Chains A and B, each alone.
Chain A
Amino acid sequence: MQEIVERTVVDSDKQITDMKVRYKSGVLKYKQMGYWVPDYEVKDTDILAAFRITPQDGVDPEEAAAAVAGESSTATWTVVWTDRLTDCENYRAKAYRVDPIPGSDNQYMAYIAYDLDLFEEGSIANLTASIIGNVFGFKPLKALRLEDMRIPTAYLKTFQGPATGIIAERERLNCYGRPLLGATMKPKLGLSGRNYGRVVYEALKGGLDFTKDDENINSQPFMHWRDRYLYCMEGVNKAMAETGEIKGTYLNVTAATMEDMYERAEFAKQLGSVIIMIDLVIGYTAIQSMAKWARRNDMILHLHRAGHSTYTRQKSHGVSFRVIAKWMRMAGVDHIHAGTVVGKLEGDPNVIRGIYDTCREVNVPQKLEHGILFDQPWAGLKKMMPVASGGIHAGQMHQLLTYLGDDVVLQFGGGTIGHPGGIQAGAVANRVALECMVKARNEGIDIWNEGPDVLVKAAKWCQPLRAALDTWKDVTFDYASTDSVDYVPTPTPAL
Chain B
Amino acid sequence: MRLTQGQFSFLPDLTDEEITKQITYALSQGWAVAVESTDDPHPRNTYWDMWGQPMFDIADAAGVMMEVNACRKANKNKYIKVLAFDSNRGFETIRMSFLINRPSAEDGFELVRAEGPGRNVNYTIRSYATEKPTGARY
Contact = CB atoms under 8 A, between A and B. Distances in A.
A458 B10 CA distance: 11
Indicate the member of B1, B22, B44, B90 with the most A CB atoms within 10 Å: B90
Interface stretch (A61-69, A98-106, A229-237, A477-485): A229-237
Given A167-B91, A233-B123, A442-B22, A241 B110 contact: yes
A250 B92 CA distance: 27
A270 B11 contact: no
Contact of B7 (A233, A362, A438, A458): A438
A435 B119 contact: no
Contacts of A383: 90
A302 B4 CA distance: 24
A197 to B, nearest CB: 12
A428 B21 CA distance: 24
Interface string A456-482: 001001000000000000000000000
B109 A241 contact: yes
Interface stretch (B56-64, B67-75, B95-103): B95-103
Contact of A245 (B21, B25, B43): B43
A2 interface: no
Contacts of B95: 176-177
B3 interface: yes
Nearest to B89: A362
B73 to A, nearest CB: 24
Contact of A272 (B84, B98, B108, B123): B123
Most buried by B among A174, A272, A428, A436: A174
Given A177-B95, A362-B89, A234 B8 contact: no
Given A167-B92, A177-B98, A428-B10, A244 B4 contact: yes
A360 to B, nearest CB: 9
A485 to B, nearest CB: 25
A167 B93 contact: yes
B119 to A, nearest CB: 6
Nearest to A361: B90
Contacts of A233: 121, 123
A39 interface: no
Interface string A439-468: 100111000000000000010010000000
Given A174-B43, A435-B7, A435-B8, A242 B96 contact: no
A14 interface: no
Given A237-B125, A243-B3, A244-B109, A176 B11 contact: no
Contacts, number: 105
B50 interface: no
Interface string A249-284: 000000000000000000000111000000000000
Contacts of B96: 176-177
Interface in B119-136: 119-123, 125
B7 A244 contact: no
Contact of A439 (B5, B8, B44, B93): B8
B96 to A, nearest CB: 4
Interface in A168-194: 170-171, 174, 176-178
Contacts of A431: 10
B4 A245 contact: yes
Interface string A95-125: 0000000000000000000000000000000
Contact of B111 (A241, A246, A439): A241
Nearest to A360: B90
A240 interface: yes
Given A167-B93, A240-B125, A442-B21, A176 B7 contact: yes
A207 interface: yes
A428 B11 CA distance: 11
Nearest to A438: B7
A240 B1 CA distance: 12
Contacts of A170: 93-94
B90 A244 contact: no
B7 A242 contact: no
Contact of B12 (A245, A271, A442, A461): A461
B120 A244 contact: no
A226 B95 CA distance: 37
Query: Which of B7, B10, B120, B123 has the largest number of chain A CB atoms within 10 A?
Result: B10
A176 B31 CA distance: 13
B53 interface: no
A238 interface: yes
B70 to A, nearest CB: 23
Interface string A412-432: 000000000000000010011
A224 B50 CA distance: 47
B11 A436 contact: yes
20 contacts: A167-B92, A167-B93, A171-B93, A174-B5, A176-B83, A177-B97, A177-B98, A237-B111, A241-B125, A243-B4, A244-B41, A244-B109, A245-B4, A271-B120, A383-B90, A435-B10, A436-B11, A438-B7, A439-B22, A444-B21
5 A-B pairs with the lowest CB-CB distances in the bound complex, closest first: A241-B111, A362-B90, A442-B25, A237-B123, A177-B96
Given A167-B91, A244-B42, 15 more contacts: A176-B7, A176-B83, A177-B84, A177-B96, A237-B111, A241-B111, A244-B3, A244-B109, A245-B43, A246-B43, A272-B123, A438-B8, A443-B22, A443-B25, A461-B12
